Amino acid sequence: MSVLSEEVPFAGDAIVRPPRDGFVRQVRSRLFATKGDTALTLVLAAVIVAFGTFALDWLVIGAAAPWGSAQDCAAARGACWPFVVEKHRLILFGTYPYEEQWRPFLASVLLVGGVGASMLPSFHNRRLLWLWGAASIGFYVLMAGGYLGLESVQPERWNGLPILLMLAIFGLVFAYPLGIGLALARHQSQLPAIRAFAVLYIEIVRGVPMIMVLFLGLFVLPLMMPEGVSLSPLLTTMIALVFFHSAYFAEAVRGGLQAVPDGQFEAANSQGLTYVQKVRLIVLPQALSKSMPEVMNTVLGAYKDTSLVVIIGIHDIMATAKMAFSDPGWQHYGLEAYLLVGVWYLITCWCLSSYSRWLERRTS
């Protein structure tokens, strides 16, 4: 019997936890530890209670129930949910022919589904091209009609959600490759003239407000066209958005390019790769994954800023919300309409930013 064989209690085996604090003590240590903490807690609690009671009263207690009528709204002191029930189709699809509104609905689902699929890592290859080729054709056929026995609908009557999605998504889809090209043009020394152009372009576009670029598309782009060529406002807006966002993408991607070690460039050169091979096989895969957080930030900002097209008279979801409460019978319920739009943006932006956080965790 040796002494060594006996079980010696080792401090590391059993994790010793301090006793858990009771509820009262937890509250005290978290909220009322010092005088400053107490003051802050009281101020914040007052703000939360005031805001919370107001929101609860406006949204639920004082609101007219969704199945009510316009008369109920006039009597209610809070929100008018019957307005949302009555006008939700107008807010979503605007003046698209009422009978045909399943088409913009399907078109929106197609685009949202396309974005969802593009987020899957298994789509991060050539399949993405096929996906968006098919999605854009499907979107156009559904919205414009004229094929497959669908009634033809003029672009002037496309508005609401599909327009927002179309401008945001296709604007970004075209701007991203252009931005990569600009970033590559800026991040090289072989072609100084092209580099100078890229620098000038990126800095000028980033130095002016987005609305200025939209107005350039509205006023100046049509003037640049030869006689007889006319561009629809939707098309000029799309072109302006692509040019605008590409400069921001270029800056985001340039950050990634700068983070690729010089040795990678040199190694690629010494292997005898051509420029295109070097960029496609060595540089871009690393630069793009490094710049992903910044690119996702740009995407989020660009998506939110697409709403500015309202100012130049494109009818996106914010404009159709305004249409809805311009109806004489429902004039006082603008906040409800904007709340609906706000909820849409909150949900979609939250999905985008959660995805970007997930992507960051996955790559790091």
Partner 1 sequence: MRKLTKASVFWQAAFLLLLVGGGVAAVQNIEANLARSGISVSFGFLGSQAGFDINESAIAVSSTSSYARVLLAGMINTLILSLVCIAGATAIGVIMGVLRASNHYLGVRVAGLYIEVMRNLPKLLILLALFLFAINTLPSVRQSWGLFDTVFVSNRAIYLPAILPGSGMRLLTAAFVVWLVSIAVLGRFSRRVQDRSGVRYPVIWPVTAFILAVVLVSGLFGWVDFPVSYPELKGFDFRGGHRISIQFLVLALALSLYHGGQVAELVRGAIQAVPAGQFEAARASGLGFLQTMRLVVLPQAVRIIVPPMGNQYLNITKNTSIALAVGYSDLVSVMTTSINQTFRPIELMSLTMCVYLAICLAVSLAVNLYNARVSGGGIAR
Where do contacts with partner 1 occur on this chain (CB under 8 A)? 30-31, 37, 40-41, 44-45, 47-48, 189-194, 197, 204, 206-212, 215-216, 219-220, 223-227, 300, 304-305, 307-308, 310-311, 318, 322, 332, 334-335, 338-339, 341-342, 345-346, 349-350, 353
- Which DSSP string do the residues of 155-195 spell out, in sequence order? GGG--SHHHHHHHHHHHHHHHHHHHHHHHHHHS-SS-HHHH
Return the structure tokens found at 209. Answer: 């407000």
Taking the CA of residue 21 as centre, how many other CA atoms within 13 Å lie in the half-sphere pointing to its CB?
8
Min dist CB 235 to partner 1, Å, is: 17
Report, in Å, the least distance between residue 34 CB and partner 1: 10
Rounded Cα distance, 77 and 302, in Å: 37
Smallest distance, partner 1 to C-beta of residue 309, A: 10
CB-facing half-sphere around the CA of 132: CA atoms within 13 A: 17
CB 97 within 8 A of CB 77: no
Decide whether 132 or 303 has the Cβ nearer to partner 1.
303
In angstroms, the Cα distances linking 326 to 32, 68, 83, 85, 156 are: 50, 20, 12, 16, 19
CA distance 31 to 26: 8
Residues 6+ apart with CB under 8 A from 147: 141
Under DSSP, is residue 64 helix (H, G, I), strand (E, B) or coil?
Answer: strand
Residue closer to partner 1, measured from CB, 56 or 137: 56
Report, in Å, the least distance between residue 300 CB and partner 1.
Answer: 8
Per-residue tokens: 28:
């005290």
As measured in angstroms, the least distance from the Cβ of 339 to partner 1 is 8
DSSP three-state, residue 23: helix
Please check whether residue 281 is in contact with residue 273, taking contact to mean a CB–CB distance below 8 angstroms: yes
3-state class (DSSP) for residue 232: coil
Q: Which is nearer to partner 1, 123 or 197 (CB)?
A: 197
Give the whole-angstrom CA distance, residue 126 versus residue 327: 48
Give the nearer residue to partner 1 in terms of CB position, either 280 or 357.
Answer: 357
Residue 100 beta carbon to partner 1: minimum distance, rounded to whole angstroms: 28
Smallest gap from Cβ 308 to partner 1, in A, equals: 6
Which C-beta is closer to partner 1: that of 280 or that of 332? 332
- 123 or 201: whose CB is closer to partner 1? 201
Q: How far is the CB of 101 from partner 1 (least distance, A)?
A: 23
The residue among 102 and 350 lying less far from partner 1, judged by its C-beta, is: 350
If the CB atoms of residues 86 and 336 are measured against partner 1, the closer one turns out to be 336
